[in-house]
């Protein structure tokens, strides 16, 4: 059994230096609209814990949630907005890179990839960068329900290949149907333990 994660929203911070200290932390990254907010809400079994993409302000901050029993979760800005805010050459804002390279408590990065459309160029850049920076990361493929059952096996193989990973390395979820949410809750607890 993996009951909902007891997450409590703590703060939104403009950079890693403004975040409170943490013991262990899981970060969530992905392009805008990949399903980050929906996934956080599904993990917590709450409807509006994480606000959806069009909430002004918070989507450009590091949003920190504390997990009852220890550890925290940080929701990073979606890559998509990089174009409108002094972005780095690699396509995501300095604050994302600053957080990922300087957060000592970072235990795991969940890199969200849209399961329906597969990894974008930016997703692959993020994965290559995490790999070359030796940062712990796990690919979570979202919106599994949008892939027809008859197509799933092929899509799983394609998505894994696109990420330069094995099929078994990818965690598939659907925030809408609840698929994969229980095991992912278990993984988050494990990463934070």
Stretch that binds ligand GDP, among 17-25, 102-110, 118-126, 173-181 (CB under 6 A): 173-181
**Phi-psi bin for 71: left (phi > 0), alpha (psi -120 to 50), beta?**
left
Q: Does 38 bind ligand GDP (CB under 6 A)?
A: yes
Stretch that binds ligand GDP, among 10-18, 61-69, 162-170, 172-180 (CB under 6 A): 172-180
Rounded Cα distance, 156 and 181, in Å = 17
Q: How far is the CB of 134 from ligand GDP (least distance, A)?
A: 26
Residues 4-33 that bind ligand GDP (CB under 6 A): 30, 32-33
Q: Does 36 bind ligand GDP (CB under 6 A)?
A: yes
Q: Does 120 bind ligand GDP (CB under 6 A)?
A: no
Stretch that binds ligand GDP, among 97-105, 119-127, 155-163, 168-176 (CB under 6 A): 168-176
Rounded Cα distance, 14 and 36, in Å = 18
Among 7, 27, 37, 180, binds ligand GDP (CB under 6 A): 37
Rounded Cα distance, 65 and 163, in Å = 28
Beta strands at 106-114 and 171-172: parallel, antiparallel or unpaired:
unpaired
Helices 36-44, 181-192: axis angle to 10 degrees equals: 80
Rounded Cα distance, 74 and 14, in Å = 12
Between 102 and 151, CB nearer to ligand GDP: 151
């Amino acid at each position: 059994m993996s009951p909902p994660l007891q997450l409590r929203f703590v703060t939104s911070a403009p950079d890693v230096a403004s975040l409170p200290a943490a013991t262990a932390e899981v970060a969530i990254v992905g392009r805008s609209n990949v399903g980050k907010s929906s996934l956080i809400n599904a993990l917590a079994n709450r409807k509006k814990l994480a606000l959806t993409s069009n909430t002004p302000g918070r989507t450009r901050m590091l949003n920190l949630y504390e997990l009852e029993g220890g550890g925290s979760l940080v929701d990073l800005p979606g890559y998509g907005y990089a174009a409108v805010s002094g972005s780095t050459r690699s396509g995501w804002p300095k604050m994302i890179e600053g957080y990922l390279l300087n957060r000592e408590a970072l235990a795991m990065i969940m890199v969200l990839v849209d399961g329906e459309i597969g990894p974008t160029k930016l997703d692959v850049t993020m994965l290559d960068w995490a790999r070359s920076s030796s940062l712990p990361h796990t690919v979570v493929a979202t919106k599994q329900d949008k892939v027809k059952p008859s197509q799933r096996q092929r899509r799983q193989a394609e998505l894994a290949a696109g990420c330069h990973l094995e099929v078994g390395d990818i965690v598939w979820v659907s925030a809408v149907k609840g698929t994969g949410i229980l095991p992912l809750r278990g993984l988050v607890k494990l990463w934070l333990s």
